[in-house]
Amino acid sequence: MRMAWKFLNIGKANAEIDRLEAELAAAKTSTTASPTPDKIAALEKRIDDLAASIATLGESVATLEKSASTSADSFKVEIARLDKSFADFQTSAKEIGSRLAAEITARQGQGPLAPGSTAGTQSGGGNDLVAQYNAITDPVARTEWYRKNKVAYDAAWTAANRK
């Protein structure tokens, strides 16, 4: 009698193999119903077919596991590439922002400000705002600056002219 290989995690196929083997063994040892050679051959063929199916399923599972592993590796590589790209973008944005800030302060007639400096801003002194406003020569830029800083400038101008 040929025994078929059993595979883990394929319960239905293993149960069918067990059932057919038990049926074959019962058919061979039964005195009441003597098995015919055709019936025995059919059962052995069925067992061999099921064992081949299990082997094919095992190969398919291995192929799928390999594919999933490859996909996971590709995903990790892509995530790392996107993280680097995002970091590069942040660095570029900071550089562009710094350049733009320097251009704006230069257009207002000031030199570049040191990091953390409050000179020339609304939180700076009132005289700084008046001086900043007076340093702007372009009428359009002067109007835009005044509209943006109206409340603080008016307070600074009033304070400077009360003396």
Question: Under a CB-based contact definition with an 8 Å cutoff, are residues 2 and 22 in contact?
Answer: no
Shared-domain flag, residues 98 and 131: no
Shared-domain flag, residues 91 and 33: yes
Residues 6+ apart with CB under 8 A from 138: 107
| Position 30 in a domain | yes
Question: Under a CB-based contact definition with an 8 Å cutoff, are residues 109 and 136 in contact?
Answer: yes
| Position 2 in a domain | no
Question: Under a CB-based contact definition with an 8 Å cutoff, are residues 96 and 105 in contact?
Answer: no
Output the CA torsion sign for 89, 93, 96, 98.
Answer: negative
| Position 42 in a domain | yes
Stronger pLDDT, 103 or 4, i.e. the higher one:
103
Shared-domain flag, residues 101 and 118: no
Can you tell me the distance from the alpha carbon of 27 to that of 101, in angstroms, rounded to the nearest whole number? Answer: 93
Shared-domain flag, residues 121 and 84: no
Question: Under a CB-based contact definition with an 8 Å cutoff, are residues 24 and 41 in contact?
Answer: no
Supply the pLDDT for residue 91: 86
Q: What is the mean pLDDT of residues 73-77?
A: 90
Above 60 in pLDDT, residue 31?
no
Supply the pLDDT for residue 79: 92
